[in-house]
Amino acid sequence: MTTHISKAPGAGTPAPRTTLLRAITAAGGLATVASTFLAWTWTSDFPGDLTVYGYPGGLQVLTLALGLATLLFAVAALDVRGLRWLTPAGSTAALRLLALGAFATTWFTLLAIAVDQGGLVNLEPGGWVAAVATAVPVATAFLLTDDTRPVCRPRQLPSWADILIIAAVFALGLYVVNYGIQTDEDNPEPFIGYLIALCFAAAAFLKAGLITRLSGLTSTYRSLTLVAALVTALVFPFTQDKASYTELGVNIAIFATVALGLNIVVGLAGLLDLGYVAFLGVGAYTAALVSGTAASTIHVTFPFWAAMLAGALASLVFGVLIGAPTLRLRGDYLAIVTLGFGEIFRIAVSNLDGTSGPSVTNGPNGVPNIPPLEIFGFNFDDEHSFAGFTLDSNSNYYLLMLLVTVIVVLIFSRAGNSRIGRAWVAIREDETAATAMGINGFRVKLIAFALGATLAGVAGTIWAHVQTTVVPEQYVFAGPVPPNSTFLLAAVILGGMGTIGGPLLGAALLFLIPEKLEFLQDYQLLAFGIALILLMRFRPEGIIPNRRQQLEYHETGQLDVPDQAALSGSAVGVTKAEA
């Protein structure tokens, strides 16, 4: 018996209507690009100066980028040779998202001009052109039929081409990060537009399959990818022209490192720790008391390496002391106990003032005037010249924190891939089953708790010298300003539990957004709640997902029972001829 598969006439060739819609979408993308070279308003009071003809400025740059991406993806959808690699998973979903991104960014800018300047009369003709031009691709893209398909294996490229792609991606990533960090600090509009454009662009690239292709490429060249990431991070302080921008990088690196330590406890071992910020405080107070400051009550001076070891050891001891009696609890009970420990730490250091208790921490006044770090004669508060660049104190601390982050990443990676790491995952998935297989659940959980506390203590020693002051109010469960346990836990969940990049990205976003949008600082908990609700609904595995959890949270269809039509082989276009 021979099976013949008949092919409908014209199969594989887009219908004339589809081709026309794609062409109109491409034309709309081109018009969007052209509109950014026109003036959108007459006054330069709006941030970015959108009054110039001939080149884009401010938020127009974002519209230009999204319009150009819409144009390229629409042309790629027309099966133009050389651009098919842009849409390995189909073009329709990505086109819709890019068109929506350009539309949302442009209309947000135009509405912001009208609100800030006092009415739509402040729009120049270029603004109206942009409004219409961005609406056209949205209308046509949603009329296209969905062409989503599985991502196929790409055509093999030379090694040098793959290396260039990885380098270009990291260079583009550095530019995107710098654009967000260097937005106007006094006006929220540029950063809000940046967030809108970034979210739509990232979702579009994910739907198009580009991120999947890139993930496969970085997996193939894992060592090269790690080197590229490290070089990009090293270059960061040399690309900043303000000390405040580098200070953002220092704080993000510190909290990302602490979040990565919490990820061992929460992401790998599955232990809900709501008082983790206390271990950061233990390390910070220890380093402050042995730093040689006149405000210290123990009057000793340790070199930095000894202070860091002391902070790490103190946090380790506290982790063991707190974990030993409490880690026999599970779930909500453990979360309540750790929450209580965090509050006990804050209240205890507030009372160790010589009046309510022994004189150790100066009570609510804390330990001020912590001297700058100095390693082998290198003072981190002084400016230093390197290859024609001047590194200020923030750049010095950033590079030091980068070294600590690399060490923490190595520890997390090695621990997660070890036998202990596999035991943590087994405990997280089902502690009863893991215990039945011979895993000592208490010992394994205590190791996770102690290791996470130690890493937080190491970051706390640097945090104390960066802030030059340590006070109890810095270490609370929830508050408008990080660090706090809510912030760290949200960074782990938002970024992706059990991964390395997840907490790093989550901490960067959750620190940068309130810093740039000051009006959100009083509503930080509300913003966290809304973000987590949306995350649990649309992407419960986090922004950078763990592969195992991604399969758990989403239906894969592997266990679906095929219908009778599929079993009988009566698909359309299949004819059977008997031999």
Extents of the domains making up the chain: 15-229, 242-380+388-473+509-516
Element (H, E) at 153: none
- Tokens 């506390």 identify what position? 453
Q: What pTM does this model have?
A: 0.84
Report the length, in residues, of the chain: 579
Which is nearest to 389 in space by CA: 244, 236, 180? 236
Nearest Cα to Cα of residue 534 among 498, 490, 500: 490
The Cα diameter of the chain in Å comes to 100
pLDDT tens across the length of the chain (579 residues): 444 444 444 445 567 888 899 899 999 999 999 999 999 999 888 888 899 998 898 899 999 999 999 999 998 888 777 677 888 888 889 999 999 999 999 999 999 999 988 888 899 999 999 999 999 999 999 988 888 888 777 677 788 888 899 999 999 999 999 998 988 878 889 999 999 999 999 999 999 888 888 888 888 888 899 999 999 999 999 888 888 888 888 989 998 999 999 999 998 888 888 888 899 999 999 999 988 888 888 888 888 888 899 999 999 999 998 888 888 887 788 888 888 888 898 898 888 887 877 878 888 888 888 888 888 878 888 887 777 777 888 888 999 999 999 999 999 989 888 899 899 989 888 888 888 888 888 899 999 999 999 999 999 999 988 888 888 888 887 766 677 888 888 888 888 888 888 889 988 888 888 888 877 777 777 777 887 788 888 888 788 877 776 666 665 554 444 444 444 443 444 334 333
Provide CB contacts within 8 A for 478, sequence distance 6+.
484, 485, 486, 525
Token pair 């819709």 in the structure block, residue: 96
C-alpha angle 5-11-16 in degrees, rounded to nearest 5: 165
DSSP label of 264: I
Query: Which of the 8 DSSP states describes residue 268?
Result: I
